[in-house]
Structure 1
Amino acid sequence: MAFPDDRRYTDQHEWVQVQGAAGSPTVVRIGITDHAQDALGDIVFVQLPDVGESVTAGAAIGEVESTKSVSDVYAPLSGVVAARNDALTDAPETVNSDPYGEGWLVEVTVEDGDGDPTAALLDAAAYQALVEHS
């Protein structure tokens, strides 16, 4: 199971990666983790928020449907949806095959002021420990 250390994680099994150079506002890319896609099984449908939609940290922003179940995807940070991975409409299984790459879900513009907006999220080691002890 992969736990890339170039991103942050939530206890709900989403990952967040800052895009581009640090600054204000910051754009982050969000997806579900390798652990999450493995637990879900074969993903057959992904519902994503619209570009321009405001999202609130901790609130559901979409759904991932697999042959086993339907799971909510939660916003790790508050902001405005800047982009969505529309390629998943025709190829939702990309989330299974490449969860940390082409299987990303949305990009969100967050107002971070000073500092890293992802600092409060789990680092790779903490997320790995969470997964291994659950």
Structure 2
Amino acid sequence: MASIARCLRAARPTAFSAVARNSTPRAIGARAFSVTAANAIKKYTRDHEWIDLSADKKTGVIGISEYAANQLGDIVYVELPEEKKEVEAGDPIGAVESVKSASDINSPVSGTIIHSNLVLEEKPGTINQVAEDDSHGGGWVAKIEVSEQGLKDFERLLDEAEYKEFTTEQGDH
């Protein structure tokens, strides 16, 4: 943490002096980032799993949705999938238990499980905090090598808007 602070202190005078020399903030060299493409490759199942497909469409990250995590309540245990296991869309790959209930985690697409999020063994509540985060400390469950059939399965999943509409309808019943 101290090294981050030292880096920030060293960078700060330069950034402020750039602003002082130039009246427009663009002089600092800031640029806008677009995340549209990344959002376009995340899809959902009606069973509340999500998959974030890589740009090359060869691998994906699987987890349960924020909606599902909220419905389950405090998650106390996560059964992780077995690595190198071949699965078809809809096959159970693990389970999640909360203070309210237990639920299977199903694979949204066909392929081979290549990695499990071992962080969840020690900290299952991570899913409650960051259910749809596929980074190192996130609540994702598994990584999958997507098969040709898996790409076809992916096309049939719900995009973010469709999933939001689906969960809104479920909340009404």
What TM-score results when the alignment is normalised by the length of structure 2? 0.69
Provide the secondary structure at the position in 1 that maps to 2:155: coil
Which of 79, 88, 106 in structure 2 is aligned with 1:74? 106
Aligned length: 127
Greater Rg over alpha carbons, structure? 2
Q: Which runs of 5+ in 2 are unaligned?
A: 1-37
Q: Which runs of 5+ in 1 are unaligned?
A: none
RMSD after superposition = 1.7
Answering whether residue 166 of structure 2 is matched by residue 120 of structure 1, we say no
Which of 76, 92, 95 in structure 2 is aligned with 1:60? 92
The amino acid that maps onto 1:53 is: K
Shift of 1:112: 2.6
Shift of 1:49: 1.3
The amino acid that maps onto 2:143 is: E
More helix by share: 2
Larger RCO, structures 1/2 (Cα 8 Å, 6+ apart): 1
Answering whether residue 122 of structure 2 is matched by residue 90 of structure 1, we say yes
Conserved in 1, the CA contact under 8 Å of 2:89 and 2:153? no
Matches within 5 A, 1:23-62: 23=57, 26-62=58-94
Provide the secondary structure at the position in 1 that maps to 2:121: helix
More strand by share: 1
The amino acid that maps onto 2:56 is: A
Which of 4, 8, 18 in structure 1 is aligned with 2:53? 18
2: CA distance, partners of 1:117 / 1:11: 13
Shift of 1:61: 1.0
What TM-score results when the alignment is normalised by the length of structure 1? 0.88
1: CA distance, partners of 2:76 / 2:110: 27
Conserved in 2, the CA contact under 8 Å of 1:5 and 1:123? no
1: CA distance, partners of 2:126 / 2:43: 21
- Identity across the alignment (%): 36
Shift of 1:116: 6.8
Conserved in 1, the CA contact under 8 Å of 2:87 and 2:112? yes
Conserved in 2, the CA contact under 8 Å of 1:17 and 1:29? yes
